[in-house]
Structures are given as structure tokens and as C-alpha cells.
Amino acid sequence: MRFSGLRVLREGLTGNRGWTAQWRDPEPQAEYDAVIIGGGGHGLSTAYYLAKNHGMTNIAVLEKGYLGGGNVGRNTTVVRGNYFLPGNSEFYSHSLKLWEGLSEELNYNVMFSQRGVITLFHSDAQRDASARRGNAMINQGDDAELLDRDGLRKLLPYLDYDNGRFPIHGGLLHRRGGTARHDAVAWGYARGADQRGVDLIQQCEVTGIDIENGRVRGVQTTRGAIRAKKVAIVTAGRSGQVAAMAGMRLPIESHVLQAFVSEGLKPVIDHVISFGMGHFYISQSDKGGLVFGGDLDFYASYAQRGNLPMMEHVMEAGMTLMPMIGKARLLRSWGGIMDMTPDGSPIIDKTETEGLFVDCGWCYGGFKAVPASGYALAHLMATGQPHETAAGFRLDRFRSGEGLIDEEATGSQHNLH
């Protein structure tokens, strides 16, 4: 089924009886060429690009819950290509380009809204760092504009520019950044993969990984054993646990990250804004809710809920930046489990077990990476070679210390992990 304006019109006039399920609900087969563990954004996009770019269609995505029920459906949907360091910048730049054509590519409206991402600076030193980052972005072929205080005030008149502790000196504007509809991204990739013959199997938890003579043979699941020539672990916050099934100890710590949404308001914030002096960022959803978040809760956990101290910190930062936010009522808060690496950059690599791959370590930035991650992992699984945009995301950099990337989009701040 193709979606189009004409189709919507016709269905509207005929009682909406023609819409069909977006993907099949197949029984798992005994054997596949490849199995992807995890039906989040990265697992689904990997399946899609394996089928589309490499003609591999005898594959299954195994999801222990429902598709898109993990972090891909829990994040604050910020998409940007403003990474600074080589290794990351080319990858996120590629991802942003894929985002720009994604709705057409998938024939599914992912509601990608390039409303601009603005990162504020509050001192001369921060302005210099922003200029440096902007230059790196431009050199990478992306966009960046350094706004002084007056330029910024024209766009964001409601900020507290003269705050005693954190006066605002300006901001780095990245116009092509913005937000997207998280569920739609998962659903669009799922539908595209299913259309190409991929089996999407929900309520199917992987409980073991079968390895013989250094080679992966398949997986054990709550729905029986499945043989596979290739297996990819794409389980975000659960990566450490799933990799342990293959006897691996990943350089990953899992932490909770919280997000918040206010009651629906009339349009007031038409960019994504990041505070430069604390962990707070905000945008407004299409339904009117102010969507905002901050930093990790600083303890390792697999609980998908957060704690009050971080909530207080985020609210304080919000009030510092835009005191008007204090009048809005908070509607909901939630948490997701982040797969944090020591250098803040991801892993897309083979493992020492032949045929076993990992894609993890997305920290708090993995939503924007969904298209390029799937693209790169599919390339690696199909060809055996890393994709040129993801060649730095090697697993062994943490053992050898060579090739660490040290980036979390704010520069190297290990102490903040």
C-alpha cells in the first residue's frame, strides 16, 4: 500500500475501509541468513538497508516487546549534524542527509521538521568554542551560523539574557537540525523492511547466542531456537546484557536518561534550544507540549524511570533560561536506558566471534543516528567492510586506547558520563 494525498482523500470518502496492517506478524522460521536482535530504530533501519541496499531479505528482527517500545519511542527527537570531531562529524552529517529524504524514501511521513537547533553560549570562551565547532561543521559541508546577542534576541526574545549567573552572549544556529516524529521513524522503517520480505517478530526475547568453534550459529529465544549465519546485537541500553550471552563484556554502562513534557500550549518555541551552562534543552511538539530534558541520572540502572534530583536540576536550568516556563504545568516524565561508552561515541563493528556484530554505545544521541547507523551496519554485515562514515566506531579502541573519539557533541567531558 502506498500512501499519498489522493489515497487519504479516497479513504476519507469511502469510510477508511481500505487501510491494511502496516506489517505482517509472521511466525519465526527455523533459519535465516541474518538475525537482528532488537526492534528499535537501529535494528529496524539495519534490516531495511540490508534488504534495500544489499538484497538480503531472508532476515528477521527479533524484538522482546513491541516494535519501537524502547528508546526510539522514548526520546526527545532532536536531530542535528553539529558534531565536532573527525570520526563522528562525517557520520552524523551522513545521517542528516538521510533524514532529509527519509519521508520520501520510506513513503512514510516521519515529520522531520528542520526548525533549527540553537546552542547558547554564555561567555567569551564559549563563544570561541562555538565558532570553532561552527567552522568544523561548515568544513564538513553542513551549515552553522554564529549569532550575537542581538541576532539571537530577534529569534528568541523570551530568554533571560541578563541572568546574573548565566548571561546569554549569543548562540550557534544549525538551521538544518530539528525534530522528527519518533514512532513514525520506527514504523516507517518497519514497514519498509516488511515490504521487502524481512520478518519482524515481536514478543520474541533472545535468551542465548549459539556459538560453535568461534562462529555464531544462531540464537535461543522465548519462541524457540533460530539458526542464523549472521547475528547483530542492536539492543541499545541492554547491549551489555545481550553481549554477555556471547561471553563478551562490552565497554558500556547503562544509565537512565529522563525527559519531560508540559501541557499543550500555543506555539511559542519554534526552534530546539540548548542551554550552554547546564544540562537543559527544549523544543515544542506539534501537539503543543514543551518537550525538554537534561543529563543522565548518575548511577547505572536498567530501570526505565528516573529520580527526583535530576528532575529538579532540569527544572532549575529551564527556569534560569526562560522564566516563563514556570507557568506551564508538567504533564509527564519518563526515562530510558542509555548505552554509554567511555568516549561518548558509538560502536558499529564485528566481534571476535565470526558472524556476530554489535551496534551500540549511542549514549544520549542515538535517535539522530538511526538512518546512518542502519546504513553502516547493513554495509558491514553484507560486505564485511566498515562503511566509510563509520570506520572509527571500532570496538577495540577501548582495549587499545587507539582511535578513541572523545565526543558527546559538547567536547571531551568524560567526567560528565
146, β-bridge pairs: 172
**In the block, residue with C-alpha cell 481500505:** 18
The only residue of 34, 36, 59, 74 in contact with ligand FAD, by rule CB under 6 A? 74
Stretch that binds ligand FAD, among 20-28, 154-162, 246-254, 364-372 (CB under 6 A): 364-372
Candidate list 120, 173, 243, 259; residue touching ligand FAD; CB under 6 A: 259
242 contacts ligand FAD (rule: CB under 6 A): yes
Q: Any contact of residue 306 with ligand FAD (CB under 6 A)?
A: no
CB-CB contact of 32 with 199 (8 Å): yes
DSSP letters of 14-68? TTT-----SS--PPPPSEEEEEEE--SHHHHHHHHHHHHHH---SEEEE-SS-TT
Nearest Cα neighbor of 209 from 249, 248, 245 is 245
Contacts (CB under 6 A) with ligand FAD, residues 197-216? 205-206
Cα–Cα dist 400/404, whole Å: 9
91 class by beta-carbon count within 10 Å (0-12 exposed, 13-18 middle, 19+ buried): buried
Taking CB under 6 A as the criterion, the residue among 166, 362, 375, 393 binding ligand FAD is: 362
Percent helix, strand, coil in the chain (nearest 5)?
Answer: 30, 25, 40
Site for ligand FAD contains 250 (CB under 6 A): no
Q: How many residues bind ligand FAD (CB under 6 A)?
A: 39
Residue 203 has which C-alpha cell? 514478543
42 binds ligand FAD (CB under 6 A): yes
Pick the stretch among 126-134, 158-166, 194-202, 231-239 that binds ligand FAD (CB under 6 A). 231-239
Cα separation, 126 vs 65, in Å, equals 43
The interface mask with ligand FAD, positions 76-115, x = CB under 6 A, is xxx-------------------------------------
Q: Does 375 bind ligand FAD (CB under 6 A)?
A: no
Q: Which of 178, 188, 318, 366 binds ligand FAD (CB under 6 A)?
A: 366
Residues that bind ligand FAD (CB under 6 A): 37-43, 62-65, 69-72, 74-78, 205-206, 234-238, 242, 257-259, 293, 336, 362, 364-368
